[in-house]
A and B are shown apart, each in its own frame.
Chain A
Amino acid sequence: MSDKPLAPAIEGWYTLDAKPHLIGTRCKGCGTYFFPKQSHFCKNPDCESTDFEEVELSRTGAVWSYTNACYKPPEPYVAREPFEPYTIAAVQLEKEEMVVLGQVCEGVSVEDLKVGMTMELVLEPLHETDDDIKVTWKWRPLDQ
């Protein structure tokens, strides 16, 4: 990668600090969390709230399941050439009681993962444009 500036791949979905968080919302009526953000109506069928607060989600969780991608995905994915397989994890956030998908950081393969192990959120490049390096959230084993 070059020394281009870093920019979020998807604007406003995560913080860009050293210990990043996903940015969600929380319904002020019933307490349900949303990621991606929900700010106009609550999806809980028993809640009519339209009032939300932006919150940073827990940045650690437990592996719910995991896999990898051995084939290059179609657009809009921007694949590196030559394509290199990457690992993917579904991670359960305890407080939010939700599962969030994401790539796993480089250098970690499926052999390194187990259901239940603790992961933390990190930022890594997703692809490069003419102007900047787009970064996204990824999961990394906590003890690494």
Chain B
Amino acid sequence: MANEIAILGAGMHPWGKWGHNFVEYGVAAAREALADAGVSWRDVGFVSGGATIRCGYPGYVAGATFAQALGWQGAEVNTSYAACASGSQALAAARNKILAGECEVALVVGADTTPKGFLAPAKGYRPEDPDWVRFYLGITNPTYFALYARRRMDLYGDTLDDFAAVKVKNSRIGSKNPRARYRKAFSAEDVAASAMVADPLRLMDICATSDGGAALIVSSLEYAKKIGKGNAPRVAAISTVTPTFASGVVEMPDIATDSAAAAGVEAQAYRASIPVKAYEEAGIGPEDVSLAEVYDLSTALELDWIEDLQLCPRGEAAGLLRAGDTAVGGRIPVNVSGGLACFGEAVPAQALAQVCELTWQLRGEAGDRQVEGATVGITANQGLFGHGSSVIVKK
């Protein structure tokens, strides 16, 4: 396909709470990806970094920071901020550069060192900032996850046991992932015994924030063939669409949705719109997908994503889970990396980590986590300020 690029290499620094400078994680991930690709750092013509923005924190110069840390060699650089979708936007920038014929090989990299506890806004009295407003009024990130979870219980009859089962599934497979931060197989009893954070979600239903780094080496298909990697997995689609007015679901960090009162305006669900462009671009449908890596900020949100990706009809994801269809060996395994449940969120690295997992799965190199015969994988994530992404990788 004309718009495809090859994934030559993938690399990650293990997730954890290491407390080191984020540049270390990015360099480690980049070097692993370069070695995996068999590409020399000096052959990389473009460095595309995923960034985070945290006041007083220099993560936002990601492209140049990593290029300098790896040793200046003249490559062009780019820095992308798109909240949780930063990695996908950085990947899209690299794809554009390659497809435009301006470079053959690019490094895409994101890494983060996260502060402890809640991700909090800058201080002062700043009612013009929606993030400040909601924290001032006592509305944190778990509030939104819990509102969505409660809604699933009300609309579809999902239960606390279903949410716990997502955690049990992800922790079981994630315990086999050497790059994951949490590598213990938890039971439903463990989940039930954890503290309530935002009813109906408990501590073990909600993902932590972590340190970590992820990197990809991507190239034109011609270059891949030239170095004997013509069969490398390909990026078949990248969707980074923004929402469509009017938002029908109250989203972080907003205190209210848009109004859909004007003539001709309908309330829209953003999450469900993200993969639509990806499927169109790749020329495939949900029935072609072998596995999915989705943004399980909460256990219940994994179920929402399964429906947003159209892997089952709306409201039936818990049924899929109960039948074992979303576990390894099931019809459509979801989060076989262990997901955010086992990794914790390292914002600018997370979307790339999802693509790393798909790369290893499609190469048949995922070991104990391998989805047999995987040919197509899809990612999905969503973050603040109308950022979200979905990437399709295929053999």
A residues near B, CB below 8 A?
Answer: 9-11, 13, 27, 30-36, 43-47, 64-71, 73-77, 86, 88, 90, 95-103, 110, 114-115, 126, 136
Contact = CB atoms under 8 A, between A and B. Distances in A.
A143 B102 CA distance: 66
26 contacts: A9-B137, A11-B127, A30-B265, A32-B262, A36-B127, A36-B130, A43-B258, A44-B262, A45-B245, A67-B150, A67-B198, A67-B201, A68-B146, A69-B138, A69-B139, A69-B198, A71-B142, A74-B117, A74-B140, A75-B123, A76-B132, A97-B267, A103-B137, A110-B199, A115-B151, A126-B137
Interface of B: 117-118, 120-121, 123-125, 127, 130, 132-140, 142-143, 146-148, 150-151, 154-155, 195-201, 245-246, 249-250, 255-265, 267
Contacts of A65: 147-148, 150-151, 154
A31 B262 contact: yes
A101 B150 contact: no
B136 A9 contact: yes
Q: Is the interface of B mostly helix, strand, loop or mixed?
A: loop
Nearest to B248: A99
Contact of B245 (A44, A73, A95): A44
A6 to B, nearest CB: 17
Given A70-B199, A88-B143, A98 B137 contact: no
Nearest to A42: B262
B267 A36 contact: no
A69 B125 CA distance: 22
A38 B255 CA distance: 14
A66 B262 contact: no
Contacts of B200: 67
B261 A70 contact: no
B31 to A, nearest CB: 36
A31 B198 contact: no
